[in-house]
Structure 1
Amino acid sequence: MNSPSSASSEVTWTDRLGPVLVANRGEIARRVIRTLKTLGIPSVAVYSDADAAAPHVHEADQAVRIGPAAASASYLDIDAVMRAVEVIGARAVHPGYGFLSENVAFARACRAAGVAFIGPGERALDVMADKIRAKEHVADHGVPTVPGFSAAGMSYAEIARAADDAGYPLLIKPSAGGGGKGMQVVRSAADLSEALETARRVARAAFGDDTLLLERLIEAPRHIEVQVLADAHGTVIHLGERECTLQRRHQKVIEEAPSDVVDSRTRERLGAAACAAAASVDYLGAGTVEFLVAGDRPDEFFFIEMNTRLQVEHPVTELVTGVDLVEQQLRIAAGLPLELTQEGIRLDGHAIEARVYAESPERGFLPATGDVVRWGAPRRARADSAIESGSTITADYDPMIAKVIAWGEDRPSALAHLDDALAETVVLGVDTNIAFLRSLLAEPAVQAAEVDTGFIDRLPPFTAPEPRMQVLAQVVAVAPPVEPFGAPVGAGRLGASALWAAGSGWRAGGPPQEREFSVLLDDGTVRTVAVPGADASRAADAGFELVAGEDGVWVHVDGTAHHLVPLTRRQAMERRLAARERATAASAPELMAPMPGAVVAVHVDDGAAVDAGARIVTIEAMKMEHPVTAPHGGIVRLEIAVGEQVSRDQVIAHVLADDDAVIANREEEPR
């Protein structure tokens, strides 16, 4: 009998590291699990009640429930995650990004439990978690920074004087935060007070710390970041830069590598500054150092912050360098020295990533929720997704549901490949920004790489392309309109034969007549379409993807998704009359929630008099705040309170004209 070979009994670094618990959800949890599987390391998923059926749960080797849907009671609950670590016997924790990934208390809890935290040490987390401290720290190590000041411990009068001294415009940033949350641009002293209040409220809610940093706003800036890797043996290298300038409200939308405006000399200087920032805190693992680059002087850059974790946009770096960043994180956490060298890093071609959000660009990019009835990934590009067919999008978490990443030999080809990939990406059942992304990529300034961080915010309101008439005809053929009480057209008519009830357009002695139907489009407009009297369902276009449901038809065609509702003549007439009345009448007194979410602030008292445009309520959904303002002047009657959950289009307040308010008060008086 042969004895086992020494190779088969050898304990490898992967054996020592696993099982690895992934303390996250969505596409980043699936991304980490994918590399763990490739390396043969057992993976453990955690999930909230909202994610019990999520893809990352069934893709992991094991899964543990950690709490209810609210992130504060599940993915942000250190004790809950650590209990899962103990139950499973995990040897390491990968935090992904967001949630607890940059939480020093979580890293400390892992160390106390004897579990490897796949991320930097506590010193790096502590220093870089505070923007003010981080800025002062890296400045002492030769990294250029933006002029500004900390508002910690300062009174409003002191902040106002310091702001005057620094000069407007200023950017207010929560010191403890990231992802653009709470950032406010202040262009004059008159706007300072309200901006400070908003920034502090968001900072407290999102990060538990309302300390603020005010710094000089660099006009027309570009956002450039550098990917670094550092091991426990003193080696720090960079993997080039990423261009993240295309943002909306400080939230990145399109990212690419390398940047079109960074030459080799500037790349070398950026990389050196990023490595110096990482080395200054004895960094360990993968991290990103972010810089602002002056629009008119791309060779001039300033440190913004260091993200002590993997970034959402890491795939573009992977595609141009050929390096699996998650694998490098795992190897470094296992104590291995970097096998990569700075001289060996080469940038091959160009990669561009688009973030797919569950949101409605036509409604001002408000978050969207619902069931995904159909998901289809592009065939010739990388897609990191949080969803699959049957997934449910709730208001509990970030609205990003997927990332589509394309590579090309140069930037123009990468842009073209990304557009093709987005056209192939199918999401039916919930609104997304895919049509907007394709429109954005087609902008001449984007094609020419002549953009700054405010470019998207300056674009006109987005209007989705209308589907072709052939598509509308196919929709009504597949899902005929129904009467308001739910019976199909022609059904249940007393004395009518089945032929009459069919509504096919058949007639004696001649060809079937065309029938006219109306269809409600995504933007609320109504279109009339003529449908052939013959069985039009046989003429289905092979390029269509149709899913009919109780609330209409979802269709993917021409690279765009639409939600269409076939209408009867009566329904179409009612909608047209209502639209005409709205166009000629004053705005309605009802103030409705634009999306589902939680009421985080009520800015006026019940019965208060307000002017048009006054902020009435602020609703938080998918980690973003959305103010709801008065459509006209009047007296406010509140229907909600702080802390309440509201649904989309729920009436949250009334803004009554003076006469209406008097009548309402009389009706409320006891008789």
Structure 2
Amino acid sequence: MIFDRVLIANRGEIAVRIARTLRRLGVTAVAVHTPSDAGARHVREADLALEVPSYLDAEAIAGAALASGAQAVHPGYGFLAENAAFARACAAAGAAFVGPPAEAIDAMGDKIRAKATVSAAGVPVVPGGAEPGDVLEEWREFPALIKPSAGGGGKGMVLVRSAAELPDALASARRTARAAFGDATLLIERYVDSPRHIEIQVLADSLGGAVHLGERECSLQRRHQKVIEEAPSPFVTPELRARMGAAAVEAARAVGYVGAGTVEFIVDGATGAYHFMEMNTRLQVEHPVTELVTGLDLVELQLRVAAGEPLPFGQDDVRLSGHAVEARVYAEDPSRGFLPTGGRVLLLREPGVPGPAAQTAGAGPLVRTDSGLAEGGVVGSEFDPMLSKVVAWAPDRKGALRALDRALAGTAVLGVVTNVPFLRALAAHPAVRAGELDTGLVERALPELVTDAAAPADVLAAAGLVFHALPQGDDPWEVTDGWRVGERAWTTWRLASRDGVHEVRVRGLPAESAEVLLDERPAPARLRADGQEVAVTLDGGTTRYLCARDGDTLWLGRDGRAWAFTRHLIGDPGDRPGAAASGDGVVRSPMPGTVLVLKAQPGDRVSAGQPLVVVEAMKMEHAVTAPCAGVLAELPVQPGQPVDMDAVLAVVTPEEA
């Protein structure tokens, strides 16, 4: 390995994952961080760390590479990973860019140019049009898909089903593209209904060698964001793999590609016809599934190619073994329309071994977690909501899905609401189990996949017992055992959760002998604490919960689910902190974020459901609407203003008032 020191121009789970490969190779890992990220896990796991104003500041990061003595810069994905100017800035600072040549980034990073390039090389493409010109505004073939020309990862993509939707869709896509990628140029394509999304991993060296490493099935998506990926695809035959792989290699050769890249295809599930969508000139989020079925470390191969070494194998040497499935853990609340969440990580449980790790022939299931989380860390709204990736490998697909479910059940991030229950439901869906996938499956199946946020009665009882067992002070008269002459009295705990305020009645000492009023009858209960876990015995059955507290808020977790309860002292039992009655006209922010656009002004008459404010969180836009018809009386926010969850955005005076 020519490099002794490599700077990682990224953060979170991908920075941690790259650092692990560098450590294994004996290469010094240099991290960069913003002021607010100084205590992040990727900083602690690096050998050296330097502060930069922003992860998008190419000049500052190239300067950090020079100051640290790094001989190479690995961009990970996102941020500057597909920025040709950054690749050139690294070269000017004397550091190799661990990625393709700037010219290849320019060619493939611009989706418009990329389609023309690969089409000229004989690769089929999806019909569409692009700016400049009025082709977008004049498009009349619906449904259609709008995409930022400079972007990836599904950000800014908007599905348009009619000409009436087009103006607002274009405006929204341009705002997102400009904010996320610094380039508002768009293209539009014919929308292929219910296709499969299949991508091919390619590797190329600077000496003319190029191979593909098979495909990844990425059809399980929500709002064009991948959720669960797998390798190999249950749909792709060896013959189709060979044809698509050859097309992907040709696409890479067409731009003089060097390094690891991914060629994405839309595939007709009925006919197997495939069309080029785009090429991601970087490592992909889902690269671990390819690593697990090939036994290769893609980051190591990236580094060796960037150092000028040839690929150590040819196409005939590539072998796929077993099956791997990856699930993306996001800070989002499926029960509230997948709105971004946040908070401090109070307790963390992540299964499996940290990546990269390869399977061994004949071995049983293997679980790998790539994560940037650490207990005590804060998940905010500045970055993408993906927290970690849970990946499972087994000799066959059925075993891999089973291992993934067990791993997700053992995943806990108390303090932050996540999508883990949704992931378990999706992985267990009959169509997913059968391999009958398409890009619309998740949206069609959402009612079956989104679990009720309400806490079951036994979880409420457990929360009441935990609060009842907490020390109440030094005064013996403050002990909440309910002791009275004759019979113990009941103590009523009012606990606020996401679905309302609940009353839980407990009497006695939970550690010895207590009762909980369950279904209007006293049920014997007992509580045993063991570090960060509590064992709750209720009606003779015992359940173990992970347990964490943040002031007056208690978090309980089990089987991948988590519930938060706050002692509620004021208001009536129907109150819920941060919520307003449906007719009172108060409009609150459903998540922490930044006000992007005001869609109305004070004094305007508005209808129920009319968008009033657009809030951006984790690089995604969310329209907040009027709860009722009436007059917009107050609008106490401005574009660019940061807001907390449940902050008042507007007040509508209802019509009846």
Normalised TM-score (structure 1): 0.87
Is the contact made by 1:219 and 1:295 (CA closer than 8 Å) also made in structure 2? no
Q: Which residue of 2 aligns with 1:633?
A: 629
- Tell me which moved more, 514-523 or 279-288: 514-523
Deviations 1:50-102 (A, max 9, x none): 210011112111100112xxxxxx11001110121121111110000000000
CA distance in 2, matches of 1:60, 1:373: 23
SS at match of 1:625: strand
Instruction: Select which of 516, 520, 523 maps to 2:499.
Output: 523
- How far did 1:381 drift? 1.5
CA distance in 2, matches of 1:220, 1:462: 21
CA distance in 2, matches of 1:557, 1:129: 43
Is the contact made by 1:372 and 1:389 (CA closer than 8 Å) also made in structure 2? yes
CA distance in 2, matches of 1:430, 1:418: 21
- Tell me which moved more, 635-644 or 353-362: 635-644
- Tell me which moved more, 399-408 or 464-473: 464-473
CA distance in 2, matches of 1:160, 1:100: 30
Q: Which residue of 2 aligns with 1:650?
A: 647
- How far did 1:363 drift? 1.4
Larger radius of gyration: 1
Is the contact made by 2:546 and 2:558 (CA closer than 8 Å) also made in structure 1? yes
- How far did 1:295 drift? 2.9
Instruction: Give ranges in structure 1 of 5+ residues lacking alignment.
Output: 1-13, 68-73, 493-497, 661-671
Q: Measured at CA, do residues 413 and 268 of structure 1 come closer, stay the same or move farther in structure 2, by a change above 3 Å?
A: same
Instruction: Give ranges in structure 2 of 5+ residues lacking alignment.
Output: 353-365, 512-525, 536-542
CA distance in 2, matches of 1:402, 1:426: 11
Q: Which residue of 1 aligns with 2:362?
A: none
Q: Which residue of 2 aligns with 1:553?
A: 554
- What amino acid is aligned across from residue 523 of structure 1 in structure 2? D
Instruction: Select which of 448, 451, 455 maps to 1:463.
Output: 451
CA distance in 2, matches of 1:345, 1:115: 31
- What amino acid is aligned across from residue 504 of structure 2 in structure 1? T
- How far did 1:464 drift? 3.7
CA distance in 1, matches of 2:161, 2:15: 40
Q: Measured at CA, do residues 126 and 534 of structure 1 come closer, stay the same or move farther in structure 2, by a change above 3 Å?
A: closer
Q: Which residue of 2 aligns with 1:188?
A: 162
Q: Which residue of 2 aligns with 1:503?
A: 480
CA distance in 2, matches of 1:356, 1:366: 14
CA distance in 2, matches of 1:423, 1:466: 18
Q: Measured at CA, do residues 469 and 628 of structure 1 come closer, stay the same or move farther in structure 2, by a change above 3 Å?
A: closer
- What amino acid is aligned across from residue 117 of structure 2 in structure 1? H
- Tell me which moved more, 361-370 or 231-240: 361-370
Q: Which residue of 1 aligns with 2:117?
A: 137
Matches within 5 A, 1:19-34: 19-34=5-20
- How far did 1:517 drift? 3.9
CA distance in 1, matches of 2:325, 2:107: 31
Instruction: Select which of 77, 83, 100 maps to 2:80.
Output: 100
CA distance in 1, matches of 2:626, 2:168: 17
Q: Which residue of 2 aligns with 1:125?
A: 105
Q: Which residue of 1 aligns with 2:323?
A: 350
- How far did 1:286 drift? 0.4
- What amino acid is aligned across from residue 320 of structure 2 in structure 1? L
- How far did 1:353 drift? 0.5
Instruction: Select which of 337, 352, 372 maps to 1:386.
Output: 372
Deviations 1:130-188 (A, max 9, x none): 111100110000111011111x1223xx5444x22xx2111111111111111111111
Higher helix share: 1
Deviations 1:217-266 (A, max 9, x none): 00001111110000011011000100111111111111110111111111
Instruction: Select which of 311, 317, 326 maps to 1:338.
Output: 311
Q: Which residue of 1 aligns with 2:360?
A: none
CA distance in 2, matches of 1:448, 1:530: 47
Q: Measured at CA, do residues 465 and 599 of structure 1 come closer, stay the same or move farther in structure 2, by a change above 3 Å?
A: closer
SS at match of 2:315: coil
Is the contact made by 1:472 and 1:529 (CA closer than 8 Å) also made in structure 2? no
- What amino acid is aligned across from residue 608 of structure 1 in structure 2? D
- What amino acid is aligned across from residue 64 of structure 2 in structure 1? A
CA distance in 1, matches of 2:326, 2:626: 38
- How far did 1:525 drift? 5.1
Q: Which residue of 2 aligns with 1:43?
A: 29
- How far did 1:475 drift? 2.7
Matches within 5 A, 1:245-264: 245-264=219-238
Q: Which residue of 2 aligns with 1:319?
A: 292
Instruction: Select which of 585, 590, 604 maps to 1:589.
Output: 585
Q: Which residue of 1 aligns with 2:573?
A: 576
**2:459 maps to 1:477:** no
- Tell me which moved more, 420-429 or 467-476: 467-476
CA distance in 1, matches of 2:17, 2:127: 38
- What amino acid is aligned across from residue 322 of structure 1 in structure 2? G
CA distance in 2, matches of 1:25, 1:187: 37
CA distance in 2, matches of 1:132, 1:612: 39
CA distance in 1, matches of 2:186, 2:51: 36
- How far did 1:589 drift? 1.2
**2:132 maps to 1:153:** yes
Q: Measured at CA, do residues 577 and 280 of structure 1 come closer, stay the same or move farther in structure 2, by a change above 3 Å?
A: closer
CA distance in 1, matches of 2:201, 2:656: 62
Instruction: Select which of 429, 436, 451 maps to 1:450.
Output: 436
- What amino acid is aligned across from residue 651 of structure 1 in structure 2? V
Q: Which residue of 1 aligns with 2:348?
A: 375
Q: Which residue of 1 aligns with 2:597?
A: 601
Matches within 5 A, 1:51-450: 51-67=37-53, 74-150=54-130, 152-155=131-134, 158-161=135-138, 163-164=139-140, 167-297=141-271, 299-379=272-352, 381-450=367-436
- What amino acid is aligned across from residue 236 of structure 1 in structure 2? A
Deviations 1:256-314 (A, max 9, x none): 101111111111111011101001111101000001111322x2111110000000000
CA distance in 1, matches of 2:254, 2:191: 26
Is the contact made by 1:397 and 1:622 (CA closer than 8 Å) also made in structure 2? yes
Is the contact made by 2:126 and 2:276 (CA closer than 8 Å) also made in structure 1? yes
- How far did 1:472 drift? 3.4
Deviations 1:12-62 (A, max 9, x none): xx2x31210000001100111100010001110000112100111121111
Deviations 1:483-504 (A, max 9, x none): xxxx95xx79xxxxx5553220
Is the contact made by 2:66 and 2:94 (CA closer than 8 Å) also made in structure 1? no
- What amino acid is aligned across from residue 520 of structure 1 in structure 2? A
SS at match of 2:145: strand
Q: Which residue of 2 aligns with 1:613?
A: 609
Deviations 1:623-655 (A, max 9, x none): 111111112222223211111111111111122
Is the contact made by 2:129 and 2:136 (CA closer than 8 Å) also made in structure 1? no
SS at match of 2:142: coil
- Tell me which moved more, 35-44 or 471-480: 471-480
Is the contact made by 1:102 and 1:125 (CA closer than 8 Å) also made in structure 2? yes
SS at match of 2:273: strand
- What amino acid is aligned across from residue 218 of structure 1 in structure 2? V
Higher strand share: 2
CA distance in 1, matches of 2:286, 2:370: 11
SS at match of 1:635: strand
SS at match of 1:480: helix
Q: Measured at CA, do residues 499 and 207 of structure 1 come closer, stay the same or move farther in structure 2, by a change above 3 Å?
A: closer
- What amino acid is aligned across from residue 154 of structure 1 in structure 2? G
- What amino acid is aligned across from residue 655 of structure 1 in structure 2? V
CA distance in 2, matches of 1:142, 1:176: 23
- How far did 1:532 drift? 4.9
CA distance in 1, matches of 2:373, 2:528: 32
CA distance in 1, matches of 2:426, 2:260: 30
- What amino acid is aligned across from residue 135 of structure 1 in structure 2? K
CA distance in 2, matches of 1:551, 1:255: 39
